[in-house]
């Protein structure tokens, strides 16, 4: 019999069954069970693009505690779970590109996305590369370009920056093998222009993993189409960031609930534009 535990954060944890809470189906009342990666991929599939030129779809994936913390002591891992990491990996496997802020790259020690055999056939059928590219949003390009994310990715890492970025840092990024994409005037990156620039490169299934400041910019620019939010059954107190930071929008934007899964007290929600 297979062991029903997995190693997570240097401890052994038991895998619990997952069940769908919304939309209501026969599975809602059914006994909880572990979902296959194929089932998770179907549950989180990107919307079917309309005929003609496909429209980019920007999805965010974040985790939050019950009291609103998006991280604990600077990292999201302590408030995550084995099931959350399965969803995390599935969302990456569905995406063309993972968009992330430079500060999150530094804090979380980002590495290149890897190809996964379980999703190889589906990605090939969808015309995708073996693994999603990683696009780093940065104004100053203060990044260590010797790290594997830049030096040895399966797919070249993208750098989204402004037209006034320091030429020496741009040269250093390009020398490391990264592709620099201008997505804003001056030093900063314009969120809408970043989405458009990525779509121009053929990346229409977009996934952002934050951090909070970057997600706040996408929200403020009204370019976020979907939020996949894991609600962690934990309390942290303290002054940790929320999932989205920065100035508030003038009028709160309402999203519609698309689906809701539960496993071991963790809620896995999908909200999208109405």
Question: What are the tens digits of pLDDT across the range 231-249?
Answer: 999 999 988 889 999 888 8
26 pLDDT higher than 90: no
Our CA dihedral for 50, 219, 213, 191, rounded to 10 degrees, sits at 50
CA gap 191, 179 in Å, rounded? 18
Two structure tokens written together for 215: 């997600």
CA gap 206, 46 in Å, rounded? 9
8 pLDDT higher than 70: no
22 pLDDT higher than 80: no
pLDDT of residue 223: 96
pLDDT of residue 183: 96
16 pLDDT higher than 70: no
10 C-beta neighbours (distance < 10 Å), count: 5
265 pLDDT higher than 60: yes
**Lowest-confidence segment of 25-39, 172-186, 205-219 by average pLDDT:** 25-39
Across residues 33-41, what is the average pLDDT? 89
CA gap 27, 20 in Å, rounded? 6
Q: Domain segments of the chain: what residues?
A: 41-47+54-272
Across residues 142-165, what is the average pLDDT? 94
Tell me the average pLDDT of the chain.
89
pLDDT of residue 27: 65
pLDDT of residue 13: 58
Under DSSP, the state recorded for 109 is T
pLDDT of residue 198: 97
CA gap 71, 242 in Å, rounded? 8
pLDDT of residue 3: 42
CA gap 71, 15 in Å, rounded? 23
CA gap 61, 230 in Å, rounded? 8
55 C-beta neighbours (distance < 10 Å), count: 12
Q: How much is the pTM?
A: 0.88
DSSP one-letter string for 6-66: EEETTEEEEPPPEEEEES--HHHHSPPBPPPHHHHHHHTPPPPPPSSSPPPEEEEEEEEET
Our CA dihedral for 177, 178, 181, 187, rounded to 10 degrees, sits at -110
pLDDT of residue 30: 67
Sign of CA pseudo-dihedral 104, 106, 108, 109: positive
Task: Say what percent of the chain tops pLDDT 90.
Answer: 71
Superfamily covering domain 41-47+54-272: Dihydrofolate Reductase, subunit A (3.40.430.10)
Question: What are the tens digits of pLDDT across the range 48-103?
Answer: 877 777 799 999 999 999 999 998 987 888 999 999 999 999 999 999 999 999 99
Q: Which of 222, 269, 219 is nearest to 87 (CA)?
A: 269
Cα→Cα distances 139→74, 77, 176, Å:
21, 26, 18
Question: What are the tens digits of pLDDT across the range 183-216?
Answer: 999 989 999 999 999 999 999 999 999 889 999 9
Bridge partners (DSSP) of residue 33 are: 18
Task: Say what percent of the chain tops pLDDT 70.
Answer: 92
């Amino acid at each position: 019999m297979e062991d029903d535990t997995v190693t997570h954060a240097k401890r052994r944890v038991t895998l619990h069954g997952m069940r769908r809470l919304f939309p209501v189906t026969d599975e809602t009342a059914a006994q909880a069970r572990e979902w296959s990666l194929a089932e998770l991929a179907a549950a989180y599939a990107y919307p079917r693009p309309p005929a003609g030129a496909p429209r980019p779809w920007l999805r965010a994936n974040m985790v939050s505690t019950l009291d609103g913390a998006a991280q604990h002591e600077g990292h999201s891992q302590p408030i995550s779970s084995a099931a959350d990491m399965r969803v995390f990996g599935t969302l990456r496997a569905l995406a063309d590109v993972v968009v992330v802020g430079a500060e999150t790259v530094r804090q979380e020690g980002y590495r290149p996305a890897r190809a996964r055999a379980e999703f190889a056939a589906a990605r090939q059928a969808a015309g995708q590369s073996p693994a999603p590219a990683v696009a780093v949003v940065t104004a100053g390009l203060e990044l260590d370009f010797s790290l594997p994310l830049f030096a040895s990715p399966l797919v070249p890492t993208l750098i989204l920056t402004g037209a006034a970025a320091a030429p020496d840092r741009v040269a250093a990024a390009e020398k490391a093998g990264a592709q620099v994409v201008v997505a804003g005037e001056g030093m900063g990156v314009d969120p809408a222009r970043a989405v458009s620039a990525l779509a121009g490169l053929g990346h229409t299934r977009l996934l952002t993993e934050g951090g909070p400041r970057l997600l706040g910019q996408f929200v403020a620019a009204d370019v976020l189409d979907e939020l996949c939010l894991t609600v962690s059954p934990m309390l942290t107190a303290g002054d940790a960031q929320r999932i989205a930071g920065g100035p508030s929008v003038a009028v709160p934007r309402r999203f519609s609930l698309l689906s809701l899964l539960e496993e071991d007290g963790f809620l896995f929600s999908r909200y999208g534009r109405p």
